Structure 1
Amino acid sequence: MIGTEGYSPPEQYRGEASPAGDIYALGATIHHLLTNRDPRLEPPFSFHERIIREINPKVSPEFEVVINTALDYDPLKRYSSTENFKKALMAAVKTTGILVKPLTAEIVTLTGDEVTEIWSFECEDEIRGTPVVYKGMVYVGCYDNNIYALDAKTGKFIWKYATEGGITGKPAAEDDIIYIGSEDHRLYAISALGGKLVWTYHTEGQIRSSPSSSHGH
């Protein structure tokens, strides 16, 4: 199983990874925040048993509907994209009148004399995901199929591991293991220090989202 138990959608238990899974996980996070009920401590896929407005009456019916849609057991009945999920959330808070005007901050423009590049590293293709810093190292996936390990202070190349597909997500790091998904349908666990493969898990679809790791899972 990929992801955190309680937050992961049913299809991830079958090895299927898709954007609909990310929408489910975000819905699970919002449900947790609204109800203060940790899904990791509840039976899997039981959000419908913890009705949001019964636990927290301050939540509007419109907002509850949006979260329940994101948590639908059937991925085809969830929002088709994170953008549509966002629009539904915005519409719900506008309807209830609780949308707070975002704070604006002064934009500070720095000159070249005030910003100094410490180091840079050139990969063989686009970097589409976010790097992760872990124990003095930078780990970053690249669309050239590789995940790179660099010294965080100097940018020195330490190792790279080649998958068979492009990498678009952010690596996860825990217990000296780096986890990364690839468009070759595999989730990889790689030794943080030596760049050696620890294990792989094959899924039925391309992995374009970012894995997460918590408490050994």
Structure 2
Amino acid sequence: MRKVYTPTGGRHNPVIPVLGALLLTGLVFLILPFTQMLSNAHKERQMFTRVDVSLPPPPPPPPEPPPPPEEKEEEKKPEMEQQQQPLNLSQLELALNPGLGGAAAAMNTDLGFALSRVDAVEEMKIFEITEVDRKASVTFYPNPTYPAVLRRERIVGKADLTFVVNADGSVGEIENIENVSHPEFINVFKDWVKQWRFEPAMKDGKTVPQRVRQPLQLNP
């Protein structure tokens, strides 16, 4: 008969497999809570971790448009008449003589007026050439007194006078005299102009005082 081989060996201890199984089971039970703790800790970190997100700053507001420039009222520039030649005695006589022909009729008898800058508060009652409806014009003047010494020396008298023509046509304050050719002519021109008479200026149908600037010339 054929022999069946039967291995020979030591006897197995049945306790060892049981202990191994118990050890593995204990390890599993130990690992599971630890794994759960790790999972919970991770969840808590995810739950309570605040993430600060830096948002870009808002765009700056658009710049305000610049305020419109203030419209400055342009100072009313006086309408300067053409520079008149100084009137000598013969020209004044022609201007005041109604019997002359067309040349005299065409001559403008109005005095040349120039606006001088004055304080508007102090001079409210004195009108300028640009403020009146009709300008003052000379109607009478006497012969001036020419200094004898200056006449002999053939010195021509010249000056620019600024004065006020009152509402009644008389000459009021002589405010300024300049560009005088000789000092002795200062009083000559002042005394002479004081005797002039005017047709007064008109504004809104009323006679009003007006400031006058007139160049004058006296020939010896």
TM-score range, shorter chain: under 0.3
Of structures 1 and 2, the one scoring higher in RCO (CA 8 A, sep 6+) is 2
Q: TM-score, normalised by structure 2?
A: 0.21
Rg comparison, structure with higher value: 2
Compute the TM-score of the two structures, normalised by the length of structure 1. Answer: 0.21
